[in-house]
Structure 1
Amino acid sequence: MTILFIVVVLIIVLLFLFKNLKNKLISVDFPNQQTEEENLLLHGELRVLTYNIAGLPQGISAAKTPRKDSIAEIGEKVKPFHIVNVQEDFNYNQAFYSRNEHPFRTNHKGKIPVGDGLNTLSHYPILAYHRIPWRHCSGPDCWTVKGFSFTQIQLAPGIVIDVYNVHANSSDVARATRARRENFRQLAHYIQTHSEGKPLIVMGDFNAHYAYKRDNLYEFMEATGLTDGWINYYRKDSYPEVIPKFVAQHMLSLTNDTESLDKIFFRDSELLKFKPVDYQVERQLFNNAMDQALSDHLAVSMQFEWEWHGQLAAVTQQLELPELQKVYV
């Protein structure tokens, strides 16, 4: 009787202890810090801008405002954007960078006729940068070394996007449009060769319109898998009709409803997805105190939400990177 009683008591005690232990194991919470870090790593926001800043010498620039002061002001005003591509950054780069606060910027190649006018500014580390001249040009576009640039930018450890900066051949005369079509074919081939399967942002001064029958933007997008941000987000995938006697609008009269020469394209990868959430022709941001445009172009911006769809381990294993510092490329 006594032994039986002791056994029963022991069983009750063991059951009680097991129940408490089980409850404690079930109620264990992982630290909030780990969840927050994971969310920060796998989701993000990206604001990008493309802007032809009219950096030709004062006497020949089409812009109406004083170039040195205007370009210095542009350098300050682009701060809110995570990645900025500029074109025609020729003769006033020192002024442009003097008031700019992006920690990562490409080195200026030079004034005309040796420079290409292309520079990229970023709040994220720039891992690689290459300049590629066009093989075809016409007229005044041959007076300097125009082309495109290829940049790799790290959004987070192991999450890298390829960013292209473009300034295509200008003018709508037959010889110029032939050169521009070849520009886009050259760019498409480079993207196919160097950015296959990678997430892309391609933006710049394309000097081309969907409404102009001689331009081959459709061919370019089909070859690269790129999506036009203006078409996709603002026009809900509706393309402008070709106009038989097309005449481009004055560049400073553009709005979100009108097609700009300055374009932003994007492409997802298997693991990184972009969701456009805003598109703007910047009509007010880049005006001076007298409400004059700081360039002969209007800047174009987009905002994206991005998501990484791989495992957390894949992020760190995808690309081994050295410890990065704030450097200028």
Structure 2
Amino acid sequence: MKLTIKNVFRKARRALLTAAAMLSVASASAQTTVQTTFKVCPLNVDGLPQKFAGINLNPDGPGSEGTQKIAQYIVKSGIDVLGLSEDFNYNGDLKVGLDGQYQMGTWRGRIALNNEGNVDLMKLRFPTDGLQFLVKNGYSFDAESWAPWNQNYGHFSDGADELITKGYRYYRVNFGQNIVVEFYIMHMDAETSDADNKARASQWKQLRDAIIANNSGLPKIVMGDTNSRYTRDDILNLFTNPIVADGNYTVSDVWVEKCKGGLYPELGSEALVVPEADRTKSSAYVANEIVDKVLYLNPTHGGMQLTPNSIVFDADNYLKADGTLLGDHVPVVVEFRAEGTTYAPATSDSFWRGETWVGNDQAVYLYNVGSHYFVSNDFAPVVTNITQAPIWHIYGGDQFTISNEDGYRLQMGQFKQQQGVVSGTGATTFNNHEPGITAGSHRIGLKDFGTFLDTRTHFFTVATEKGKKIYTAAETKDVYNDWLLISEEQKQAYLTYVGLYNKALSLLGTREDLDAPLSSVLQDTQNSNYSRSADDIKKLQDMITEYERLNVKITDAKFATTCLPWNGIVPAGVKVFTATKYDDKATPCSVILKSYEGDVLPQGVGVVLFSETPGTYTFTRTDAEAAAPADNILSGTYKRIAGGNLDFENHNYMLLGNKTAGVGFYRLAEDSYIPAYRAYILRDKTAASLMAKVVFSDATGVAQVEMPTNAKATGVYGIAGDKRSKMVRGINIVRMSDGSVRKLLVK
């Protein structure tokens, strides 16, 4: 039975780029509409060893020569990003065939026994995951992370999944123009026993939870050998629907969208299998389902969006000379169009402003305008990030030296070995400083350059020689000998600005009531510089503060509900309750509330609020942790849910209100919606009444809410359920406006 592989993953942190990275990477303006296309492909390269420990393990596999041909296919196809699985023992051949055209992620090794004596076969587990990530040269990727699956099944049978350290990986690819897409690649549990299906279900849940936690606002692509079929695995309820319900992303399967008209195969129906005789024909895969899948997720708040232009099951071009497939899986090639709005802070190059030359122990960072390098403790220019550059001191007035506290000095002389940064002694005493071409810049020069016969002034500069950057002396005046003197205050201002900008950007989409003003602030601060940085920093900080505060109004009825978009501190004067039971047997129906004693309310938890003093109360975001309360039947949302997205056909949605029958949970009208930051109760259509009274289950210090006594009859029925126009002699069943049902005897 063929061995298969699974992949593991840890999610990357939520911010788009760290402040340090932004210091060294040029970026687009804060809001720019951009577009590009790229091709992706999940591909199982069938890289199990043909022989292992003297056993024919995978004799029909591609082996060394076949793997090189697979790599040559990849290069010829022009696919931009690939998620490979089963890249085990022929990784070297893969590299040979790729011919340096692709960047590669981490390779975690081959399947091989060590030479440390006897091996306990029952504990045998190879440390490789078999996954590989390929990105075509010209694009960049980062943030690689990996995590093992929480559950596998089968050691020497059922796919032998437990022999490999399977899991999933995460990457972030920059396609230029600040178009960044997140990728999840994986190889899931094989085979179809109940235990295999259960393990695979666990893996879909694990991947789902990681994606929900990584609400970065970036589009995502999930692809790999899932060993799953919609007809067999409940992918929709395990993965797709929970992510959509979370509200931050849509989820689509490219094959379902492009080949099946958006209709998913029915769970439990007959599998849609490609006939064995047609496996070398691309057209045979369009109507049939295979386990190699490409799903994509778009952020619901806008920003960059993905659209699949095409999907090709490229069997026709994946053939050996004898007409058989190169491997046991066909390439699934999807072309995506990425289009939308990107945001990014001002680059450091546009932020810096040159300080006035003072000398006399003036402390500055030295920044070369033409090359964008800082002078550092290196003999050639290498530092573009101010956080890695040292402070330099300009000693003297008309004549001056430049050195730093690490013992390095600037030197400029007649010979090449005298140019640049030196340690110890040997600093040049410069005798010329004049304004440069760039506003606010300075030139650092020396007259009488090495000999009394040469009275021209030469300037300390950065030049390129044989493809390498060097320090040298130049007579020509250009931007490469323009130096900005950057103060520590400028550096700190930029670090603060970039940090706040990226933090504000990470919040976009989490507060729909504030997203429009935040977008305006991001645009307004996109071209920040040192002169205006104080105002821009305040705008960003004020916006972040708004996002981290939520005002909730408790009405004169003394009650409200809420659901916070983050962990929040419970304000003084407010008592918090969860709902533990919906009592259908009570007359009228009742919702049983239980006091929540924590000082911190967890994110996404629906609760009831009570205060003896009605008014507006402010919940403030906190990093303190809080566990979600158990047995809480309240649901919550911090996004407005339109009525068209509610399943009124099968469910009632009960919202807290103070209406004719008093304080309680009332059924939501079908032409209405659930507001943002509110809690509600979801009930089966056949079980929920029109209204449920609020009842407290513990000693809360809150007076129990009583039903008013002026409820009116809304319908009269006989004992057999027949409707009557009025009460008659005998027993009458009366439905009241408060939702209760009473038996009344008329004599």
TM-score computed with the length of structure 2 as normaliser? 0.35
**Are the structure 2 counterparts of residues 145 and 63 from structure 1 closer, same or farther at C-alpha, using a change threshold of 3 Å?**
same
Q: C-alpha deviations, 1:212-247, integer Å up to 9, x for none? A: 1x4434431123342101111222201112345658
Percent identity over the alignment is 23
* Larger deviation, residues 133-142 vs 100-109: 100-109
1:63-102 to structure 2, matched below 5 A, reads 64-79=60-75, 80-100=78-98, 101-102=100-101
Q: Distance in 2 between matches of 1:41 and 1:135?
A: 40
Counterpart position of 1:222: 241
Q: Distance in 2 between matches of 1:73 and 1:175?
A: 36
Q: Distance in 1 between matches of 2:88 and 2:331?
A: 17
Counterpart position of 2:334: 302
Q: C-alpha deviations, 1:145-180, integer Å up to 9, x for none? A: 111100011111432111010111011110000000
Question: What amino acid does structure 2 have at the position aligned with 1:267?
Answer: L
- The gaps in structure 1 that reach 5 residues or longer are 1-39, 324-329
1:43-122 to structure 2, matched below 5 A, reads 43-59=35-51, 64-79=60-75, 80-100=78-98, 101-112=100-111, 113-122=126-135
Higher helix proportion = 1
Q: Distance in 2 between matches of 1:110 and 1:182?
A: 26
Q: Distance in 1 between matches of 2:259 and 2:203?
A: 26
Q: CA RMSD in A?
A: 2.6
**Are the structure 2 counterparts of residues 234 and 278 from structure 1 closer, same or farther at C-alpha, using a change threshold of 3 Å?**
same
Question: What amino acid does structure 1 have at the position aligned with 2:265?
Answer: P
Higher RCO (CA < 8 A, seq sep 6+): 1
Secondary structure in 2 matching 1:116:
coil
* Larger deviation, residues 300-309 vs 198-207: 300-309
Counterpart position of 1:238: 263
Secondary structure in 2 matching 1:309:
strand
Q: Distance in 2 between matches of 1:152 and 1:136?
A: 26
1:272 is aligned, of 304, 311, 314, to 304
Q: Distance in 2 between matches of 1:242 and 1:63?
A: 35
Q: Distance in 2 between matches of 1:266 and 1:183?
A: 18
Structure 1 residue 137 corresponds to structure 2 residue 152: yes
CA contact (8 A) 2:272 2:288 kept: no
Larger Cα Rg: Structure 1 or Structure 2? Answer: 2
**Are the structure 2 counterparts of residues 135 and 248 from structure 1 closer, same or farther at C-alpha, using a change threshold of 3 Å?**
farther
Higher strand proportion = 2
Q: C-alpha deviations, 1:179-201, integer Å up to 9, x for none? A: 00000111111111224432101
Q: Distance in 1 between matches of 2:261 and 2:46?
A: 31
Q: Distance in 1 between matches of 2:101 and 2:251?
A: 27
Q: Distance in 2 between matches of 1:70 and 1:223?
A: 41
Q: Distance in 1 between matches of 2:45 and 2:265?
A: 26
CA contact (8 A) 2:50 2:61 kept: no
* Larger deviation, residues 239-248 vs 219-228: 239-248
Secondary structure in 2 matching 1:138:
coil
Counterpart position of 2:168: 148
2:293 is aligned, of 263, 276, 298, to 263
Report the CA distance between 1:66 and its aligned residue.
Answer: 3.7
Question: What amino acid does structure 2 have at the position aligned with 1:274?
Answer: L
Q: Distance in 1 between matches of 2:166 and 2:275?
A: 23
Question: What amino acid does structure 2 have at the position aligned with 1:271?
Answer: G
Q: Distance in 2 between matches of 1:69 and 1:245?
A: 38
CA contact (8 A) 2:33 2:341 kept: no
Question: What amino acid does structure 2 have at the position aligned with 1:52?
Answer: N
Secondary structure in 2 matching 1:121:
strand
Report the CA distance between 1:41 and its aligned residue.
Answer: 7.7
- The gaps in structure 2 that reach 5 residues or longer are 1-31, 112-125, 155-159, 244-249, 350-382, 385-747
Report the CA distance between 1:54 and its aligned residue.
Answer: 0.6
Counterpart position of 1:3: none
**Are the structure 2 counterparts of residues 142 and 230 from structure 1 closer, same or farther at C-alpha, using a change threshold of 3 Å?**
same
Q: Distance in 2 between matches of 1:279 and 1:118?
A: 22
CA contact (8 A) 1:157 1:315 kept: no
